[in-house]
Structure 1
């Protein structure tokens, strides 16, 4: 947020002042503000440099995924849109038979329908991967024209462009290792925002470079202003998007989910297929043509994509999931007895326990779907804004880097950090455990490197 080599002369002066205090026989002198500024600036600098490559990947993929629904619907018009016909539609049971004939697996686990007559119907076939490894499982989408039963096309959901974008965003396509790295960079992104805000603080400055960026003058000064000032204005927006992203992470996200379950706020009926009363021996399952209209009755103004999961066993019910624009906070579930057509276990987000609703809110906010298009635009601005801050930070370091040298800041004196600063680092390490471990490793590496450097100078 603040320039990564910002005010280098001021930093040098801060270091000189601290060194002067020590050389004057006051090694225990009270830490100065300038010394604290140097430490914060140094951590801001290293965090920005080290997190940049992964941060760029996360922000670019995040900005792309925000409009995944709109782009996918435009791209897949040939699969999703059909011309309504006056003649009677093909029965859903016949469509199921047609889909089964085109499926790469015998396991047709569900279908997706809409009340909009201009929409196609697609079925979902579950393709198992390596035994015991569900991560290799795939899902084939089979798109059919409901008026003549013709095949519009097939697609493997996991191979879709935006599925790959999402996987890059969440785990860098590196599995568990990638998820930890993504969480680490997200945590450091929050630290960068906080430390950048401290470095931006006016400290007596009036206007230029504080509230408004300069557009004339030395290139470095202009670049620094746009980095710092835009960072200040974007801080709340980026902070919200980054913080809600932690609900997806391996350590903090899993920890939150575990806490929700322990407190009894995790609704199993939200996910699992509900059980229905035991059928009589002579009972026969209802036809899909009877079941689907029951589910469509709960569709909201034709905006919902109604995903129906077929009952896999006689004692289970059919279950439908309703969602508008992939917004988890709009998710509704309805279960239907496959023998009687009785509708039960109808759940909307307001019916869920509070802590689980917090999770849904976080997911929708992070994806920019909480209030539709306006928040999508804000989410994209947050992603691209954070990318811009990182790029300008690296640019400033490269611009001011001395010829033949790294341009990395020197280590401040140990007493430059006040007691409350150490306490703050401990609190941050506890609240953001992945970042806390990295802070310990960085401090250890820093101590080893500079200890060796001082030994060499002594020799």
Structure 2
């Protein structure tokens, strides 16, 4: 009896390989970056919204600090500095806004330099509003001191927004890293909205709409649509945040790869120990006015400062509330010799790019309209962070619930008696 021939094996087609996709990695990155920065973006967004009008709010909260009533010719910078230091002898004036009669002059001071450490000593008050004619100190406060009294709240929020009120450079660097992560996350989130397949625009269009419905759908739609519609503004704010906190560490080296940057008196490391001021402010102001007139500028000086960290004087011309109108002249702190100028819109492409970062971040690049936009965007940024966390939390609850149901079903199957 012959044996039947063995059946021929049926060839099994290998399953088609799944196309490579970056999406899972992008989803993971968006989740980690979003959760890591959410709390800090809520804080930065809400405080930034308030700070868009910090001067007006401070004046509203402290009307007496802005009531300069003396009539006459404003004091010279040295006379103004002496008036402040006579009332607060522990301080050394290093900055002042040269206000006309009827407007308070902003004056800043620091403690004397400790010979043992080379650093400035702490003082009880370092920020003053002063009547420019009489020299009367209208308000004295320690800039950034906690927390919510009328005199303290706006300076406190300003510092908290910038560095979480952490000591030294730690808060500045920390918030700079948060801003850098936010910048990367903005591009990751944008990539996740891009549709798979065609027609591209028809599939992408729903991402720009808020359809609503369930709480999950509403949060997801708001988070995605707001991020898309305001993507350019959000990226500009994130980039300017990095530039404000990590300028020398990150932004200048990167920008320098594409455009040569002009060195400034503040390039490089600060002096150690700090250098006390030896020249009178009036002498430097006279040098500043002479240089300004040689350049054809007829407007009065608006600010003057001395930096003990770099041994440099600066004299500004133009509206000190408008960074795009402020022209700075810098002078050597020891000799008073002219060193360089920083003029809006002048320099390499990299120079102009860096000049624009603070006006963009504060909204002053577009005047009052820009400041209103920044105030609104602060709330939007906080909303994006909150809705992002809400979407993650609801998804997590759903996953945990499904896993729980699956375990319960498996347990019932194991104990079910055989028929």
TM tier relative to shorter chain: 0.5 to 0.7
Work out the CA distance in 2 between the residues paired with 1:395 and 1:88: 59
The alpha-carbon deviation at position 392 of structure 1 amounts to 1.0
Question: Which among 203, 210, 213 is matched to residue 210 of structure 2?
Answer: 213
| Contact 1:108–1:126, Cα closer than 8 Å, also in 2 | yes
Using structure 2 for the length normalisation, give the TM-score: 0.68
Using structure 1 for the length normalisation, give the TM-score: 0.63
Does 2:24 correspond to 1:29? no
Task: Please state whether the residue corresponding to 2:208 is helix, strand or coil.
Answer: coil
The alpha-carbon deviation at position 76 of structure 1 amounts to 4.0
Work out the CA distance in 1 between the residues paired with 2:31 and 2:235: 19
The alpha-carbon deviation at position 308 of structure 1 amounts to 4.8
Work out the CA distance in 1 between the residues paired with 2:55 and 2:67: 14
Structure 2: which 5+ runs fail to align? 1-12, 146-151, 269-278, 404-419
| Contact 2:317–2:328, Cα closer than 8 Å, also in 1 | yes
Question: Which among 350, 359, 365 is matched to residue 364 of structure 1?
Answer: 359
Structural RMSD (CA): 4.6
Compared with structure 1, are the counterparts of its residues 307 and 198 closer, same or farther at alpha carbon in structure 2 (3 Å cutoff)? Answer: same
Does 2:132 correspond to 1:154? no
Which residue pairs with 2:191 in the alignment?
Answer: 198
Work out the CA distance in 2 between the residues paired with 1:197 and 1:398: 21
Alignment map for 1:12-51 (pairs within 5 Å): 29-32=17-20, 35-51=21-37
Which residue pairs with 1:266 in the alignment?
Answer: 263
Which residue pairs with 2:84 in the alignment?
Answer: 99
| Contact 2:93–2:107, Cα closer than 8 Å, also in 1 | yes
Alignment map for 1:378-457 (pairs within 5 Å): 378-402=373-397, 405=400
The alpha-carbon deviation at position 389 of structure 1 amounts to 1.5
| Contact 2:288–2:315, Cα closer than 8 Å, also in 1 | no
Question: Which among 211, 214, 219 is matched to residue 223 of structure 1?
Answer: 219
The alpha-carbon deviation at position 112 of structure 1 amounts to 2.5
Question: Which among 115, 118, 124 is matched to residue 102 of structure 2?
Answer: 118
Does 2:94 correspond to 1:109? yes
- Over residues 91-117 of structure 1, what are the superposed CA-to-partner deviations in whole Å (9 max), with x where a residue is unaligned? 766554432310232633343322x32
Question: Which among 152, 173, 178 is matched to residue 185 of structure 1?
Answer: 178
Work out the CA distance in 1 between the residues paired with 2:117 and 2:189: 46
The alpha-carbon deviation at position 245 of structure 1 amounts to 1.7
Task: Please state whether the residue corresponding to 2:141 is helix, strand or coil.
Answer: strand
The alpha-carbon deviation at position 367 of structure 1 amounts to 2.2
The alpha-carbon deviation at position 391 of structure 1 amounts to 0.7
Which residue pairs with 2:406 in the alignment?
Answer: none
The alpha-carbon deviation at position 335 of structure 1 amounts to 6.4
Work out the CA distance in 2 between the residues paired with 1:407 and 1:137: 58
| Contact 2:144–2:157, Cα closer than 8 Å, also in 1 | no
Work out the CA distance in 2 between the residues paired with 1:286 and 1:230: 50
The alpha-carbon deviation at position 330 of structure 1 amounts to 3.2
Work out the CA distance in 1 between the residues paired with 2:318 and 2:77: 21
Structure 1: which 5+ runs fail to align? 1-23, 272-283, 409-459
Compared with structure 1, are the counterparts of its residues 208 and 317 closer, same or farther at alpha carbon in structure 2 (3 Å cutoff)? Answer: closer
Does 2:47 correspond to 1:52? no
Which residue pairs with 1:168 in the alignment?
Answer: 160
Task: Please state whether the residue corresponding to 2:364 is helix, strand or coil.
Answer: coil
The alpha-carbon deviation at position 196 of structure 1 amounts to 2.2
Q: Compare 151-160 and 256-265 and name the one that shifted more.
A: 256-265
| Contact 2:364–2:371, Cα closer than 8 Å, also in 1 | yes
- Over residues 362-387 of structure 1, what are the superposed CA-to-partner deviations in whole Å (9 max), with x where a residue is unaligned? 22212222121222222333332222
The alpha-carbon deviation at position 77 of structure 1 amounts to 3.5
Equivalenced residue count is 362
Mark the structure with the bigger radius of gyration.
2
Task: Please state whether the residue corresponding to 1:157 is helix, strand or coil.
Answer: coil
Work out the CA distance in 1 between the residues paired with 2:326 and 2:304: 11
Work out the CA distance in 1 between the residues paired with 2:342 and 2:155: 27
